[in-house]
Chains A and B, each alone.
Chain A
Amino acid sequence: MFASSLAVVLLTLAALLGAIVAFAWAWRKGHFHVDARAATLPFDDHDQRVARPWETPSQARERVQAHGPPLPPGPGEWGGA
């Protein structure tokens, strides 16, 4: 009995449902809610403040409000010449 496609698809959907339920449960129990500050680990103060020329005025204003007066970007700031 080679696993016919239909059986595989149904089995996959069943397993998918099970996994989604398990993840949803773990999520609601807070197992993935690690301290949100972990997300900002790559940044230092310079990264947060340096002005991004592509940001819209409102995005730039947000940055200033959250992190203080803007810093000028240096050469190669964004990687590459």
Chain B
Amino acid sequence: MNLRVWLLLLGAVAIMSFAAMVLVVVPAALLTEVKPSPGLEPYTASEASGRGVYIREGCMYCHSQQVRDTTITTDEARGWGRPSVPGDYVYDAPHQLGTMRTGPDLMNVGARLPDRRWQLLHLYQPRAVVPWSIMPSFPYLFEVKAQAGPDDEVVTVPPAWAPESGVVVAGPEAVALVDYLLSLDHTQPLAPTEATPRAR
């Protein structure tokens, strides 16, 4: 009797090991050779901490970071950049590829929307710049001060959204998050061999 149970459990483990071999171990071995895409730099300290804020606030649940293959989607025609390749992600752990586009793809948001002031205001109150937006506002990443200090990044808020008195100043986390968003630029063209890495 117990032999049957052991056979069942062994078979179960064997099948799962096979799948893990095919989809985890072999790819891990193959993907060690991936080189960073041209122009891709490691994150600076501020960008890395901004990435932490991006992860913490769950931006991934509405924004993807992958431009899909042009043969099946129109991502590129929408102006979101060239299709993404493994080399674009070598400095990312954990990945933030995402599964949802309630908001637009952010793979190249730094190239598409490079204005810091726009980004800060958009985080403080998305509807101040994009009236139809349903993105959450993140006022808790900002401070309202009576007067801005010398090193403060002031956010120019339209009167409809501005606090009754004082100025809105970006907190350190908002600054880091914008640094991270502006670093998202994977628009440099790939060398011809790298352009089709998935043919390997």
A and B touch in the complex (CB under 8 A): yes
Binding site for B on A (CB under 8 A): 1-2, 4
| Shortest distance between the CB of B137 and any CB in chain A (Å) | 39
Binding site for A on B (CB under 8 A): 69, 71-72, 196, 198-199
| Shortest distance between the CB of B159 and any CB in chain A (Å) | 50
Q: Which residues of B contact A1 (CB under 8 A)?
A: 196, 198-199
The number of residue pairs between A and B whose CB atoms lie closer than 8 Å in the complex comes to 8
Task: Give Cα A1–Cα B200 distance, bound, in whole angstroms.
Answer: 9
Q: From DSSP, what is the main secondary structure of chain A's interface residues? A: loop
Q: Which residues of A contact B198 (CB under 8 A)?
A: 1-2
| Shortest distance between the CB of B89 and any CB in chain A (Å) | 18
Q: Which residues of A contact B69 (CB under 8 A)?
A: 2
| Shortest distance between the CB of B199 and any CB in chain A (Å) | 5
Task: Give Cα A35–Cα B67 distance, bound, in whole angstroms.
Answer: 54
Task: Give Cα A2–Cα B70 distance, bound, in whole angstroms.
Answer: 9
| Shortest distance between the CB of B186 and any CB in chain A (Å) | 19
Task: Give Cα A1–Cα B199 distance, bound, in whole angstroms.
Answer: 6
Q: Which residue of the partner chain A has the closest CB to B68?
A: A2
Known: A2-B71, A2-B198. 6 other contacts (CB 8 A): A1-B196, A1-B198, A1-B199, A2-B69, A2-B72, A4-B71
Question: Top 8 nearest A-B pairs by Cβ distance?
Answer: A2-B69, A2-B71, A1-B199, A2-B72, A2-B198, A4-B71, A1-B198, A1-B196
Task: Give Cα A4–Cα B71 distance, bound, in whole angstroms.
Answer: 9
Task: Give Cα A1–Cα B72 distance, bound, in whole angstroms.
Answer: 12
Q: Which residues of B contact A2 (CB under 8 A)?
A: 69, 71-72, 198
Q: Which residues of A contact B196 (CB under 8 A)?
A: 1
